Structure 1
Amino acid sequence: MFSRSLLNCSGLNVEPSLICAADADFEEIALFQQRCFEGQVGEAERAAVQTFQHYVWKYTLLQPARIAELRRNGQLVAMCAAFPVQLSAGGDPMTGWQICDIATIPPERRKGYFKACLAVLTDTLPSTDVFFGFPNSRSAPQLTAMGWRHVDTLSPFVGIIPNLTAIETVHRVERFGGSHDLLVRNFGQSDRLRIVKSSAYMNARYCSALRPIYSCYVARNGAEDCGWIVLRTLRLFGVRVSVIMDSFAVDAISRKLLIRHAGFWSRQQGCLATVSFNNQWRMLDLLRCGLIEIPSLLMPRPLVLMVSGKRGGSTDHWHSYVGDWDGL
């Protein structure tokens, strides 16, 4: 356990501490998160993620997460977590920490506890690492006040993809392997900062038995992988939709085939429409596939990407998909 000097918040001495995921009480965290967000919009969606299994999965994704806890008399009052991922820009690797699960029990809010917990995380972890996250409307202003920068807001794309048949060159995979890593090495380089989508990352993120809600597909030209797409279903505004969580293609033809297959998959799942959030597609690129960009303010939770850290602050350009956010 890592500790920090005592902070005085509203006249009460409290000591935020930083623990490793291996020392976390996942059942306590699940119950705490449920209490903090009780009665707020999106209850059905939160019920699927505020569980013991979800936090075990997220906090042990590739390497153990770090969790800042603030307790009074042994009871959890506030927390903030961060889990590590590998980032890259122009082939330059770096460690990123995605900030998540920011919460304080209602009677203790507006006392500086969130700031204290976040300080434990950012002060203890290496200063050369990048801290980023997709905060909600309550946390974003606090992060701005602490020097975090707004990088981008992921654009929502919505539509009905007009395809009734499976694409023969698109295949479902249960795990990603060496051919995927070769694809990432050969075509996945970019000057934009992004999560490195290695097979290890993709398998932990989308192929875990702890979270069996995703369907993964690859486009192939003979024995070579030409791209991938990851799909899941979700209820949005009371309607069942399919979500493109992540996608990459080496060319426009492969991208079109993957998206057309997503339309077929969506119909198989009984979905009314397909949606995605990312900052890679352009407004007119996908009109032929039936997807159009809509204002992010029309969505129940705009996905705002914010960043902190010396290396993260030096770039304004990220590649990001909704799957980069831990909430889905």
Structure 2
Amino acid sequence: MMGSPMPRRELLSLKVLKSVTDVDFNEFSIFQRSAFHKPRALIDASRVQTPSYYRWKYSSAGNPILVQIRINQELVASISAIPIKFFISGEALLVYQLADIATAKSYRRRGFFGTCLAALLEELGPRTPIYCFPNPNSLEGILRAGFRQSTECYFWMRPAWPHLAERNRVDAVPPKQSQQDLFQLGGLDLSDPETFEWRFKSRPGVTYSVVHLQSACTEPAKLVYRILRFGPIRVAAILAARAYNSDEWRGLQTRAVEAMSREGVHAVLEFCHLRSPLQRGFIRIPTRMLGRPFPVVERNFPGSFSQFGAADWDVP
């Protein structure tokens, strides 16, 4: 009588990829969709987690780093670090975003995430500024690796009525900001041409609108948004903004809402770290409706920077 076939031996390998030419984005897209498939996800993976999306995402300035584990040549775990130029405390700074943290469902609880993260952090070095919007599955492990939760981001929504922008609250500027302080929604360096080209002009299948306002500074104030469609409803999602004092910020808001109204927008959506709205009319969307919270963890960021926004997230 023949015995049972011997179980196939697992051949495990860990690779560090430092060039996008080493990444099979077709395989990577299928792997990410499978790892994160949810029937009622906030974002439809089939429209976002595509090969063209990942090729764009990993084409940011500098070289991304990916750490992957394979078993018998099958991709079973992966974690990435994408270089992005931020503007913090008046200075440009190259930071890395941890992204696309995934383990195949049948290989979870085997420590692969921790192994990949440790290898990635070793590549980045002990002083590199790093941040992440971890999901509940990866938050605890990232905190154990030496990160700290600096803030949490929230979704805010309000009707797109122009008169709401004209009568902004007197306290619309966040605490600790004076009339002459820079206002910044998000960390992305909007004045860096290469960063702006990559983030808002090169992404396939997505169109962003930019509102400018002449400023006393060399660089004009600007606000970036995109239109989301939910059936007949059009929502303008604010991605990033920069103004050089509170008067410019209010003027920029007014001009932006006027532009959105001309596009037939019904509501304005904002994603930021603030627990109270910047202007009247905004209502915070409860976390239970979104399916997950949006904590922000960081390591080696200067001071107490916490001004993360939608353009700093993975898939706005």
TM-score of the aligned structures, taking structure 2 as reference length? 0.80
- For residue 299 of structure 1, the aligned residue among 290, 293, 306 is 290
- For residue 14 of structure 1, the aligned residue among 5, 12, 34 is 12
Report matched runs for 1:57-72 at 5 Å.
57-72=56-71
Whole-angstrom CA distance in 2 between matches of 1:103 and 1:204: 24
Q: Which residue of 1 aligns with 2:141?
A: 142
| More deviation, 105-114/225-234 | 225-234
Q: Which residue of 2 aligns with 1:174?
A: none
Q: Which residue of 1 aligns with 2:170?
A: none
| More deviation, 47-56/82-91 | 82-91
- For residue 253 of structure 1, the aligned residue among 247, 254, 265 is 247
Following TM superposition, by how much is the alpha carbon of 1:44 offset from its aligned partner in structure 2, in angstroms? 5.1
- For residue 202 of structure 1, the aligned residue among 187, 196, 201 is 196
Report matched runs for 1:50-61 at 5 Å.
50-61=49-60
Cα distance 1:236–1:104, how it changes in 2: closer, same or farther (>3 A)? farther
Counterpart residue identity of residue 14, structure 2: P
Counterpart residue identity of residue 15, structure 1: S
Secondary structure of the residue that 1:256 maps to in structure 2? helix
User: How far does the alpha carbon of each residue in 1:102-153 deviate from its partner, in whole angstroms, 9 at most, with x for none?
Assistant: 1111110111111111111111122210121111122212222333211101
Whole-angstrom CA distance in 1 between matches of 2:219 and 2:93: 26
Cα distance 1:162–1:239, how it changes in 2: closer, same or farther (>3 A)? closer
Whole-angstrom CA distance in 1 between matches of 2:87 and 2:205: 26
Secondary structure of the residue that 1:138 maps to in structure 2? helix
Whether the aligned pair in 1 keeps the contact of 2:183 and 2:245 (CA below 8 Å) is no
Residue 128, structure 1, aligned to residue 127, structure 2 = yes
User: How far does the alpha carbon of each residue in 1:2-55 deviate from its partner, in whole angstroms, 9 at most, with x for none?
Assistant: xxxxxxxxx966332110222111111111111112234327532222111111
Alignment RMSD (CA, Å): 3.3
Report matched runs for 1:1-328 at 5 Å.
14-19=12-17, 20-42=19-41, 45-87=44-86, 89-91=88-90, 94-163=93-162, 194-197=187-190, 198-208=192-202, 210-220=204-214, 225-235=219-229, 240-279=234-273, 283=276, 285-287=278-280, 290-293=281-284, 296=287, 298-308=289-299, 311-312=300-301, 315-328=303-316
Whole-angstrom CA distance in 1 between matches of 2:103 and 2:278: 42
Cα distance 1:315–1:225, how it changes in 2: closer, same or farther (>3 A)? closer
Counterpart residue identity of residue 236, structure 2: S
* Structure 2 runs not aligned, ≥5 long: 1-8, 167-179
Cα distance 1:238–1:326, how it changes in 2: closer, same or farther (>3 A)? farther
Whether the aligned pair in 2 keeps the contact of 1:161 and 1:291 (CA below 8 Å) is no
Counterpart residue identity of residue 212, structure 1: V
Number of residue pairs aligned between Structure 1 and Structure 2: 292
Whole-angstrom CA distance in 2 between matches of 1:249 and 1:295: 29
If you compute each CA radius of gyration, which structure gives the higher value, 1 or 2?
2
Following TM superposition, by how much is the alpha carbon of 1:252 offset from its aligned partner in structure 2, in angstroms? 2.7
Whether the aligned pair in 2 keeps the contact of 1:88 and 1:194 (CA below 8 Å) is yes
| More deviation, 144-153/55-64 | 144-153
Secondary structure of the residue that 2:156 maps to in structure 1? strand
Cα distance 1:211–1:98, how it changes in 2: closer, same or farther (>3 A)? farther
TM-score of the aligned structures, taking structure 1 as reference length? 0.77
* Structure 1 runs not aligned, ≥5 long: 1-10, 168-185
Counterpart residue identity of residue 279, structure 2: L
Secondary structure of the residue that 1:120 maps to in structure 2? helix
Secondary structure of the residue that 2:228 maps to in structure 1? strand
% same residue: 24
Whole-angstrom CA distance in 1 between matches of 2:94 and 2:283: 34
